[in-house]
Structure 1
Amino acid sequence: MTTPLIIFDCDGVLVDSEPLAAIAYERVYNKHGLALKREIVGQCIGMKQADIITRIEELTGFAFPAHADGDIWLETKALLEEELQPTRGIVPFLSNLKTPRCVASSSSMERIELSLGVSGIADFFGDDVFSTSMVKNGKPAPDIFLFAAEKLGGAPASSVVIEDSPFGVQGAVAAGMTAIGFTGGSHTFDGHGEKLSGAGAHAVCASWDEIEAELRQRGFIGEAVAGA
């Protein structure tokens, strides 16, 4: 294995944002005429906003008005600024992590930067932050993961992706990378781990202690991380 690279999804992995995003979608869709159910939003986790809007239309038949796209971000931004927290255990994990790492998210760069800043973890990644807005196809396509690895000089076979969504796991597997499913966010649900395994995750972990052990076992880190 060449130098390992750890690729982190942002929402639901680094930051506990998925419940806040679901509230934002519910509020905005209700404002524009659709009483959106929480389980519908849950089927779109891991997708970029444009794909989420398309998927909701496929599931409900409701076409969201194009002129109101900005309403979703404004509502989401307000909730993130007020309530966003890092996922439990991620700060000590990152504080002791020596392996090269980056962020590869379906969110816009504006949202990623806001999330990392509000949660206090931006300095752990510096400029190594990538959005699917930088590539042709969003998750579950592998584009964002291959793009991130290329930018950091990492080989797919030596890269591991930590994801909370089946779409993200599928993208990581398609990129030829190790995929670890994460179920430690507050949006996790019964059967979450099974869905990630079904999407191709090589392992599923419910905490950053479990992630640390899994990464060490697979050779992506060489020393204890969490709580070190």
Structure 2
Amino acid sequence: MNRPICLIFDCDGTLVDSESLCNLGLQKELKRYGVEENLADLTQRFRGRKLADICSALSLQHGLCLDEDFIHSYRHTVDLLFDESLQVFSGVVEVLQQLDLPMCVASAGPQQKIRRALSLTGLSKFFGDHIFSSYDISSWKPEPDLFLHAARQMGFAPADCVVIEDSEVGIQAAIAAGMQACWFGDAGQVATYPQVPRFFSMNELPFLLSNLQIYS
């Protein structure tokens, strides 16, 4: 008999196509400081990373002081970009309707940002209050704590959870947590962690899950 499993979804870059918008916001804010950064490079370099660490890295690189005022302005810019352009990835709604499994979201972003993204794209109904943020526990990927926290709150052992992620740090966190992982991402990304199945369209997820070794 199949044992129950829980799906833990990342949000940005996994459920909603927001990575480019977040980094566009970063690019726009950096221009105020006279810094020009390539959007694709920002997205590749900082995918899934903690915002404070991103600001520290950019401050060091460009000799800036990207403090709380910068972060506040950045978040406002991203809110506006979300209102204008945020889209759910193709196939996500159909797949979430199809999957008859406990599901939650575990993201590095603040609760307000996660809930805003899910609300704007009509995904809130699939997760209810099962939304977990790194800011709730002050721990960020690649540390496993967020996924372990989500598993505890959902009532599942780590071995009975499958993490759906788009970032390398997210995959690292899932592995460190002792969970299965599925890597959603662009085919152009460097293929690391060959033991982790990759998929490039959300419509592939149900088939992928059916082939994972998650059954007793």
Assess same fold via TM > 0.5: yes
Contact in 1 for aligned 2:16/2:88 (Cα 8 Å): yes
CA distance in 1, matches of 2:79, 2:195: 30
Letter in 2 for 1:101: M
Counterpart in 1 of 2:30?
A: 29
**Which residue is equivalent to 2:181?**
179
User: Is residue 16–residue 85 contact of structure 1 (8 Å, CA) maintained in 2?
Assistant: yes
Out of 140, 143, 157, the residue aligned to residue 142 of structure 2 is 140
1:203 aligns with 2:204: no
The equivalent of 2:53 in structure 1 is: 51
Q: Which runs of 4+ in 1 moved over 6 A?
A: none
1:133-167 CA distance string (max 9 Å, x none): 01232011001100000001111111010100001
Cα deviation for residue 52 of structure 1 reads: 1.9
**Alignment RMSD:** 1.9
Paired residues for 1:1-228 under 5 Å: 2-38=3-39, 39-183=41-185, 188=186, 190=188, 192=189, 194=191, 197-198=192-193, 202-218=196-212
Q: Check conservation: 1:34, 1:62, Cα contact below 8 A.
A: no
Listed one character per residue, the Cα deviations across residues 60-97 of structure 1 (whole Å, up to 9, x for unaligned) are: 44431433220110000000011101011000000121
> What letter corresponds to residue 211 of structure 2 in structure 1?
Q
Secondary structure of the 1:179 match is strand
- 1:148-198 Cα distance to aligned partner (Å, 9 max, x none): 000011111110101000010000000000111001xxxx362x151xx33
Could you say if the C-alpha distance between residues 2 and 54 of structure 1 is closer, same or farther in structure 2, counting changes exceeding 3 Å?
farther
Instruction: Give the Cα–Cα distance (whole angstroms) in 2 for the partners of residues 170 and 2 of structure 1.
Output: 25
TM-score, normalising length from structure 1? Answer: 0.87
**Alignment-mate amino acid for residue 212 of structure 1:** P
Moved more, 14-23 or 211-220: 211-220
Q: 1:58 to 1:167 in 2, by over 3 A?
A: farther
Q: CA deviation at 1:40?
A: 3.2
Identity %, equivalent residues: 33
Instruction: Report the AA paired with residue 108 of structure 1.
Output: P
Q: 1:2: how far off?
A: 4.1
Gaps of 5+ in 1: 222-228
The 1:40/1:113 distance shift into structure 2, 3 A limit, reads: same
Number of aligned residue pairs: give it: 213
Q: 1:120 to 1:144 in 2, by over 3 A?
A: same
